Amino acid sequence: NEGKMGEFKSLCEKFVAQTKSERACVHYAFSFSGDAAHCREGYDDAAGVLAHLDNVGALLTQALKIAQITRLEVHGPADQLDELRAPLANLNPQWFTVEYGFRR
């Protein structure tokens, strides 16, 4: 929200610090363009996503008081997406099924 970027960036530092210890987190970063923030994160599996949400739930509640999610994409294999549909339903994500690719 307008005038809240400094406060939001302080929360970003807390999100990153709290997420560093998560076993299943492959990458986690915030980037910015003007008044827009983007959080890009990746996990080994659906269980890792759910563990992350448990870990940062209080921070997310704080962040949503000063900012809003304008787009949420969830990408993954169909079986992993199926495990996330109910728990993430309140965030209204757009679901993308990965069909081709690899991970190292």
17-58 pLDDT tens trace: 999 999 999 999 999 999 999 999 999 999 999 999 999 999
Average pLDDT (81-85) is 98
pLDDT at 11 over 90: yes
Convert 6-50 into a string of H (helix), E (strand) and C (coil): HHHHHHHHHHHHHHCCCCCEEEEEEEEECCEEEEEEEECCHHHHH
- The Cα–Cα gap between 52 and 20 comes to 10
pTM here? 0.92
pLDDT at 104 over 90: no
Grade residue 102 by pLDDT with cuts at 50, 70 and 90.
Answer: confident
